[in-house]
Amino acid sequence: MPGKTIIVLGTMDTKGREMTFVKDEIERHGQKALLIDTGVVGEPNGAADVTREQVAAAGGTPLAELLKHPTREVAAPLMAKGALKLVGELVETGRADGIVSLGGTQGTTLATSVMRQLPYGFPKVMVSTMASGDVSNFVDIKDITMMFPVTDIMGLNAVSRKILSNAAGAVCGMADSEVTMATSGRALVGVTTVGITTQGAMKAIEVLEAAGYETIVFHAVGTGGRAMEALMKEGVIKAVLDITPIEVTNHMHHALLDGGPERLSVAGRLGLPQVLCPGAVAILVYGPPDSIPAPYRGRKYIPHSPLITDVRLTRDEQVAVAREIARRLQGAMGPITFMIPRKGFDSYSAEGEGFWDPEADAAFVETLKAELPPNVRVVERDLDVNDPAFAAEMAGNLIELMRRAGVATATR
């Protein structure tokens, strides 16, 4: 008897033969395949387990209505809505163990819009002709595996059979994994960092893990902070050491490490214990120097790599960041400590380094202290963020907040 059920999602009017081949390969691995048809324009090429009529109905529009003017532009959003409802129900009720899809631009758009709504850890494989380019819009912050098929997904041949077989094997292997993301109520502590706060983060992690807590580290490049906060919402992360809210600054100035408008507000809204620090908040990140926007040219910058350039904020811009951080923490519940390293918010801004600007940093601190909500405790130290003593104190403060909140260690 088949052990796991794998959803094969796609448009059977254009990809029916290929989807049926993937189904056969999944069943060859001893699993069960469930074909879901999202096609509208042409007649299905093969038999679906969940028909396009069922998908359309789940999306709120009878298929007969869509077929009056069968265009993908009109039908795709409605079929995506229906597919998400049906797939979501299968996943929530434990009747599906993985999903694989094949498509071009439109098929990839539809399938990944469904995959992005599925839980972290649930196997997701997208065979896409778009997979060799920028897939950030398709993947966003979810664990979607993108596979480039080399050929267009139009017919079966020696190349496409092998790659589609690989995709079937990949999703079956993922579904067979016995590793789970269950934490059983134990604390998984989110930590944010970028390269110029890494030394401090490493010391803090060492202290947290020595105390029995498990850490999960996020590179604060925009997607990192957003992924961390998504895992907070799913109940996976129980506390946070948010060392590096650079993503707030970059959102304000439309720079590369944009964490979005919700960044830094989720933990407070959920009432999670958190220790915050202004790591790298005075820095905007762009590509090579010639990509720096006109308003920021002519000021201090440091090449972080050949493709990444860091730009220093002015005093007034830092004050504006302080106000925005304080605004995002308004109404926050749960225990919060904000730790201030007076000798530098990152390795570039430490005393004697290229971005050292104590006047601008002091203006940030004074504004922040004046505008933070009263339930946020502020701790100031004449150290820089990467000083081992400062990092250890950050971790120690979070441990104390977690203990008071009854957050269990991983070793209990």
What is the SS3 assignment for 207?
helix
In 3D space, the residue among 320, 315, 332, 181 whose CA is nearest the CA of residue 242 turns out to be: 332
Q: How confident is the model at residue 72 (pLDDT cuts 50, 70, 90)?
A: confident
Q: Which residues of 287-303 are buried (b: 16+ CB within 10 A; e: fewer)?
A: eeeeebeeebeeeebee
- Tell me, yes or no, whether 132 and 275 share the same domain: no
Q: 């990444």: which residue's tokens?
A: 308
Mention every residue, 6+ apart, whose C-beta is less than 8 A from residue 158.
none
User: Which tokens is 282 given?
Assistant: 């005075």
Q: 4: phi > 0 → left, psi -120 to 50 → alpha, else beta; which? A: beta
Q: pLDDT tens for residues 10-32?
A: 999 999 999 999 999 999 999 99
C-alpha span between 6 and 202 (Å, rounded): 39
- Tell me, yes or no, whether 59 and 157 share the same domain: yes
What is the SS3 assignment for 121?
coil
C-alpha span between 294 and 241 (Å, rounded): 35
- Tell me, yes or no, whether 68 and 195 share the same domain: no
Decide: 187 and 402 in contact? Cβ < 8 Å.
Answer: yes
C-alpha span between 255 and 293 (Å, rounded): 9
Percent share of the chain, pLDDT over 70: 98
User: Which tokens is 299 given?
Assistant: 């000021």
- Tell me, yes or no, whether 218 and 170 share the same domain: no
For 149, how many CA atoms within 13 A lie in the half-sphere containing its CB?
A: 26
Final residue of a structural domain among 130, 148, 176: 176
φ, ψ dihedrals at 122, nearest 5°: -70, 125
Q: pLDDT tens for residues 309-349?
A: 999 999 999 999 999 999 999 999 989 999 999 999 999 99
Mean pLDDT of the chain: 94
Burial of 57 (0-12, 13-18, 19+ CB in 10 A): middle
Does 172 reside within a domain? yes
Final residue of a structural domain among 120, 148, 176: 176
- Tell me, yes or no, whether 229 and 287 share the same domain: yes
Q: 């977690």: which residue's tokens?
A: 402
Say whether pLDDT at 199 is over 50: yes
Does 277 reside within a domain? yes
Q: How confident is the model at residue 69 (pLDDT cuts 50, 70, 90)?
A: confident
Decide: 177 and 362 in contact? Cβ < 8 Å.
Answer: no
Task: State the residue range of the domain holding 110.
Answer: 5-176
* Residue 218, H or E segment: strand 214-219
- Tell me, yes or no, whether 116 and 21 share the same domain: yes
Q: For position 260, what pLDDT does the model report?
A: 96
Q: What is the CA radius of gyration of the chain?
A: 25
Q: How confident is the model at residue 181 (pLDDT cuts 50, 70, 90)?
A: confident
CATH code, 320: 3.40.50.12030
Beta-carbon neighbour count of residue 76 at 10 Å? 18
Q: For position 76, what pLDDT does the model report?
A: 85
Does 385 reside within a domain? yes
Total number of domains constituting the chain = 2
Q: For position 230, what pLDDT does the model report?
A: 95
Final residue of a structural domain among 156, 176, 196: 176
pTM score: 0.86
Mention every residue, 6+ apart, whose C-beta is less than 8 A from residue 268.
274, 328, 329, 331, 332, 333, 334, 336
